[in-house]
Amino acid sequence: MPRFKPISTAPVKERAILVGVDLGNSEWTCEESLAELARLAETDGAEVVLTLTQRLDAPVPKTFIGKGKVEELCSYVRNLDADVVIFDDELTPSQQANLEKIVGEPVKIIDRTALILDIFGVHAKTHEGRLQVQLAQLQYVLPRLRGMWSHLVGEQTRGGIGSRFGQGESQLEVDRRLVRARISTLRRELERLDRRRGVQSKARWDSGVYRVALVGYTNAGKSTLLNRLTGSNVYVRDELFATLDPTTRALDLEEGRKVTITDTVGFIQKLPTMLVESFKSTLAEVRAADLVLLVADASDPHRELEIAAVRSVLADIGAADIRCVTVLNKCDLLNEDAKREALLAHPDAQPISALDGQGVRGLLYRIAQEAANGSVTLTALVPYDKGLLMKMVHERCQVMRERYVQDGLLATVKADARMAATLEPYRCDAEVASGEKAAENE
Ligand SMILES: Nc1nc2c(ncn2[C@@H]2O[C@H](COP(=O)(O)OP(=O)(O)OP(=O)(O)O)[C@@H](O)[C@H]2O)c(=O)[nH]1
Ligand SMILES: [Mg+2]
């Protein structure tokens, strides 16, 4: 597949009209969801010129919105000289095609999913990230091929937001068969990368490192926190979906334990299912974590809805039962009352500001506590020929006492459950205890 045209080369901002339907079935009001859609559109380089809403019990099968609303939309499109109409909910391929027909060329009709896919296309930086986005984009395009591309035949100039995928090689060649073939190639390639990742993560577990994953709503400050904790320089922007590709960094805790921290793609409400599906392997990083830090923007008026949306995606990806600590970020933007209110809602949360560093020491202490949590104290004799295990003892456990004796390393450590199981065959608590007693009696 071709690369997409980068956003920065768009000569003029496209003029967008947003359309939201209040079906009364979401915790987000129509206005709240549309405000978020506006941010997404702006992130993708558009200028929002109008927002239209309609209250409906159910979407109208043919055009999603009612007949009168479609007429209103048509006249606004003309009067405001709009280039694109963005629906907040997913349109079926036929609704999209019908609306395009009614509103007329050259106005594009897209939905939230297409917009998010477009942003992802621009922000994916790594090979794997690009493949994942391409897979999601092609799955989106496949049922829409006719509707989306028939008008493109012989016309190469149409582009801009919501259409920067599937373009490039002759439009005529993009038929279902080719798209399907490409989808299977991408799936195979991603599976191959996934297997390699599996090997890598096994290596990481073998090296004994406790893993922490940063998850949260897009723009909550995950990358800023990673940078603050590890002195890294990951891309931070005040835009949605700045991060797409996971980054893992090592972090040394004060008590000598090493952990890794992984920053990854942010979540959003109405996250297209095909994205969750395509980002399976990236999200596997989250599933493999020992601890999830759920980073929330405490200053956002939609904080609670965002936290709920993140929890729901965590459940979708099978990560709901991983130990989770809520981190209330951006506390520098809160006054004392607001901070108290946020903590009342989340008594167990860690209030911080990744920007100015307040509360970060407390968070580090909390991570150390969690890493030691469920630990048992045990004594093991690790033979000298088990070099890797010795390394694990030093990196994954908190070492209370150690001594090199004739047969190996005799160490009393605080080990978490996984590590305790690994050390089980080498445990010698009883002998050591009786040996010490004997020494005392001598
Ligand atoms: N005031 C304030 N701003 C913050 C804080 N942490 C992050 N930000 C700002 O919030 C914006 C988003 O930060 P990122 O770290 O890119 O957020 P993210 O969660 O990684 O976002 P995505 O990668 O897009 O999902 C940036 O403009 C940051 O400077 C904070 O503690 N206080
Ligand atoms: Mg980020």
- Tell me what ipTM this predicted complex has: 0.99
Mention every residue, 6+ apart, whose C-beta is less than 8 A from residue 92.
Answer: none
pLDDT of amino acid 150 = 43
Tokens of 82: 């709009």
Q: Which of 42, 119, 217, 224 to mutate to test the pocket of ligand 1 (most atoms within 8 A of CB)?
A: 224
Give the dihedral of Cα atoms 345, 348, 351, 352; nearest 10 deg: -140
| Contact predicate 29/269, CB 8 Å | no
| Nearest residue by C-alpha to atom 12 in ligand 1 | 219
Axis-axis angle for helices 176-206, 280-287 (nearest 10): 20
Q: How many other C-beta atoms are found inside a 10 Å radius of the C-beta of residue 210?
A: 25
Predicted TM-score of the model (pTM): 0.77
| Contact predicate 182/1, CB 8 Å | yes
Domains of the chain: 7-173 (3.40.50.11060), 208-372 (3.40.50.300), 376-441 (3.30.70)
Mean of per-residue pLDDT scores for the chain: 84
| Contact predicate 37/112, CB 8 Å | yes
With a 6 A CB cut-off, is 267 part of the ligand 1 pocket?
A: no
| Nearest residue by C-alpha to atom 14 in ligand 1 | 221
- In 148-266, DSSP assigns E strands to 210-216, 247-252, 258-263
Chain centroid offset of residue 383 CA: 42
Tell me the pLDDT tens digit for each residue of 119-163.
988 888 888 888 988 999 998 888 887 644 444 433 344 456 666
With a 6 A CB cut-off, is 233 part of the ligand 1 pocket?
A: no
Task: Tell whether the model's pLDDT for residue 25 goes beyond 90.
Answer: no
Tell me the pLDDT tens digit for each residue of 339-362.
999 999 999 999 999 999 999 999
Task: Tell whether the model's pLDDT for residue 419 goes beyond 60.
Answer: yes
Q: Of the given ranges (170-174, 189-193, 329-333), which has the lowest mean pLDDT?
A: 170-174
- For the CA of 329, the nearest ligand: 1
Tell me the pLDDT tens digit for each residue of 72-109.
999 999 999 999 999 999 999 999 999 999 998 789 99
Tell me the pLDDT tens digit for each residue of 220-267.
999 999 999 998 777 788 878 888 778 888 888 877 778 889 998 888
